Chains A and B, each alone.
Chain A
Amino acid sequence: MIRVFVGSALAAAFIVTLGLIGLAAGGSRSLNAYLTLAGILFTIGMFGFLARRNAISMLMSIELMLNAVNLSIIAFSSFSTTPEFRNNGSVIALMVIAVAAAEATVGLSIVLAIYRNRKTPLVDEYDAMSQ
């Protein structure tokens, strides 16, 4: 129970901090705010990918990173002064979403296949290739 409270408190503090950072960076009319958010999201994803041992969690972390990238693309496109990019940036984002969906499908099926073989979702036990 205590962990839930501490966790919720940390999450709340995190979100507040994010908002403060966003305000400090210039609010919703500033490109920097979006890029900061994307950078934070990407860092969280990368941390998750490196630190979590569960394969499913790692796939989720990858999604987080992809979405961070998507966010930065959308931000860049809407702040761009080039008309072609401003009008069509969402197309690139849609493309990334589609590819991410496909990647998630393939990744999940691989994870499932390995899971059936090794009876574990933890990637550090997938050590057949190590010396």
Chain B
Amino acid sequence: MVDVLVPLIIALPLGGFLFTAAVGRRLGDRAHLVPVWAVGIAWAIGMIVAFSSLTGAAPFGEHEEAGRVVSGYGHTLYTWIPSGTFQVDVGFFVDNLTACLLIVVLTIGLLVHVYSIGYMSHDPSPWRFFAYLNLFMVSMLLLVLADSFLVVFVAWELVGLSSYLLIGFWKHKQSAALAAKKAFIVNRVGDVGFALGIMAIFVDTVALGHGTLNIRDSIAGLTTAGANLPIPVWAVALLVFAGAMGKSAQFPLHVWLPDAMEGPTPVSALIHAATMVNAGVYLVARTNPIFASAPDAMVIVAGIGIFTAILAASIAMTQTDIKRVLAYSTLSQLGYMFASLGVGAFAAAIFHLMTHGFFKGLLFLGSGSVIHAVHEEQDMRRMGGLAKRIPHTYRTMLIGAIAIAGIPPLAGFFSKDEILGEAYKAGFQWVWLIGIVVAIMTAFYMFRLIGLTFWGQSRVDPAVEPHVHESPSVMTTPLWLLAIPSILLGLVLSLPGPPLGDPNAKGLLTGWLEPVFAQGTKIMGRTEAGFALFGIDGALLLGSVAVAVIGVLVAWRLFGVNLWRFQRPPMPERVRTLTARVPFLYRASLNKWWFDDLNHLLFMVIGGRIAAFLWWFDRRVVDDTVNDIATTTVGAGRELRRVQTGRVQNYALGIAVGLIVMAGSFLVLAAR
């Protein structure tokens, strides 16, 4: 049964993609029916599979397999590459980590599909959009379900491809075409690392006696104690992490994600906030025993993660494009996840991945609704005072903002607090400290966004002002449906199981993910300390609540408020004097710390010079060598043609002379 259901999750969107790509053009404005229903049914099946896995039902629960106790269920569909000792099987593997990802990908994917019906209704070719969306679903589901590194790599490239297609969906807009290219190329840099990592894994497993690319087998091989590996495990970990950095947009490969906002907003919500950018987090979590065996690599992961978090948060504080603020916020939250992975808190990273997927998806869809309402305007300086005009969007976005800011009891509080707490308790105080600063910044820039967009006086273009309207219900319903998990998910997932008051009780999600991360935790030698509400945990918890509230209050004070009776005008002059006091930091943040300029200098100017030199070398040396050989041959042929007179006796003379020379030289040589 399961052997059929799980492939069906991938097959349904694949069918939707093929059908829509083939005949979608003729369906006009009904093109969305097949793709949306395909994803809808896949969602239903996915939920069945996910909940069977999470509740430990057969065949997913713990059972004995080849002499060891495993949890999760894998099934080989067929052998893709049967080549002697190198064999790659295509199959799926579902454990609780996969189940968590299935919930996020399918739920947000389905809601984004529904939302897109409204958002793309004015577009001339929605069929193309829905075909691409379904292709993305296929790739992402393949990525989380595959049980072989090579198949994961194929899916990895496929999500990159569909991301490229969707960012450049409005292909006539030059900025969109350029952004799509940028995303693709920057991703390629990381993918090289991932590809090398896969090769390294194969080399290592061959050295261990049985070359395999199966994820579970190769991880088990690589983490064997005392194994003599030709490529050390830390190198494998860093190569895999390079791939994760590309896909999850970590410093220094973060530059593509903000530009990717050129795509349609549902795409930004689905791919560049909730699902695809999580692929890197998923990959590191999936290979957690490898990382656990390389503590130095873990420190690098944590360092890059937390650095990306504070870098992106500092940029988000001054951006004026509503989607770019959210994009940098995504970068920052992904940085949190990698910091969490780096300090060894794998479950906390997946927890934040899930909550972030929902509230960031909500925020992006909300921003799409705002942009829709003010007629494709994305600059927050020309918004303001929209709270009353688009109440559903305002309320849901406010929920999302509170969630991401980390105010209890919404989702973001629990996951962020868990990351910070775990970092502190694991001895990474510096990660915790930077994380706290990032938390203040997060709360600030989110409420700056809310303030500029919804509070205060309207700064909307007077021509558009009378036409501001709330989006249709096909768009607001997904917003409310995403608001529910944004409020409740953290509470539900972090609550301990039934025996309340048990100090050793774990959160629901931590319990689910325990078998997945058991090996990594064992290698790291961590012992799970119980949650002490009136001890260290309580203090950390209070600290993160306090910083979140500080951030919110500062933004509240600066960017105005009208919540119920409270009415406080925004203070643009105060904002100006404050930014004038730190001109360097302000300019740095506004210019994104000049990373685009640095890349321009490195790759366009210096790289361009090198390329120009190589072009010169190719033209003058390589090409000219070839051409000169040809010219010489032609000239020699032209001149030597005269020797061929066409007269019999000239040839005969040649033969005679040759004979005489041969005979003569024979005589001379024989005489010696």
Judge if B644 is at the interface, Cβ distance under 8 Å.
yes
Partner of A130, one of B645, B649, B653, B656: B645
Judge if B646 is at the interface, Cβ distance under 8 Å.
yes
Chain B positions 298 through 333: 1 when the CB is less than 8 Å from some CB of chain A, otherwise 0: 000000000000000000000000000000000000
Residues of the A chain whose Cβ atoms lie less than 8 Å from the Cβ of B642: 131
Judge if B582 is at the interface, Cβ distance under 8 Å.
no
Partner of A127, one of B641, B646, B653, B656: B646
Judge if A129 is at the interface, Cβ distance under 8 Å.
yes
Chain A positions 112 through 131: 1 when the CB is less than 8 Å from some CB of chain B, otherwise 0: 00000000000110111111
Residues of the B chain whose Cβ atoms lie less than 8 Å from the Cβ of A34: none
Judge if B667 is at the interface, Cβ distance under 8 Å.
no
Decide: B646 and A46 in contact? CB cutoff 8 A.
Answer: no
What's the tally of chain B residues with a CB closer than 8 Å to chain A? 11
Residues of the B chain whose Cβ atoms lie less than 8 Å from the Cβ of A49: 649, 652, 656
The complex places the Cα of A129 from the Cα of B644 at a distance, in Å, of: 9
The complex places the Cα of A126 from the Cα of B648 at a distance, in Å, of: 8
Decide: B644 and A50 in contact? CB cutoff 8 A.
Answer: no
Residues of the A chain whose Cβ atoms lie less than 8 Å from the Cβ of B648: 58, 123, 126
How close is B636's CB to chain A, nearest CB, in angstroms? 16
Chain A positions 50 through 61: 1 when the CB is less than 8 Å from some CB of chain B, otherwise 0: 100100001000
Which residue of B has the minimal Cβ distance to A53? B649
Partner of A123, one of B644, B647, B653, B656: B647
Which residue of A has the minimal Cβ distance to B659? A46
The complex places the Cα of A126 from the Cα of B653 at a distance, in Å, of: 16
How close is B657's CB to chain A, nearest CB, in angstroms? 10
Task: Decide: A124 near B646, CB < 8 A? Known: A50-B653, A131-B641.
Answer: no
How close is A32's CB to chain B, nearest CB, in angstroms? 15
How close is A82's CB to chain B, nearest CB, in angstroms? 21
The residue among B641, B648, B656 with the most chain A CB atoms within 10 A of its own CB is: B648
How close is B648's CB to chain A, nearest CB, in angstroms? 5
Residues of the A chain whose Cβ atoms lie less than 8 Å from the Cβ of B652: 49-50
Task: Decide: A127 near B649, CB < 8 A? Known: A46-B656, A50-B656.
Answer: no
Decide: A128 and B646 in contact? CB cutoff 8 A.
Answer: yes
Decide: B649 and A131 in contact? CB cutoff 8 A.
Answer: no
Residues of the B chain whose Cβ atoms lie less than 8 Å from the Cβ of A126: 647-648
A/B interface sample: 29 pairs, CB < 8 A: A46-B656, A49-B649, A49-B652, A49-B656, A50-B649, A50-B652, A50-B653, A50-B656, A53-B649, A58-B648, A123-B647, A123-B648, A123-B649, A124-B647, A126-B647, A127-B646, A127-B647, A128-B646, A129-B644, A129-B646, A130-B644, A130-B645, A130-B646, A130-B647, A131-B641, A131-B642, A131-B644, A131-B645, A131-B646
With contacts A58-B648, A130-B644 known, what are 9 further pairs, Cβ within 8 A? A46-B656, A49-B649, A50-B652, A53-B649, A127-B646, A129-B644, A131-B641, A131-B645, A131-B646
The residues of B with any CB-CB pair to A shorter than 8 Å are 641-642, 644-649, 652-653, 656
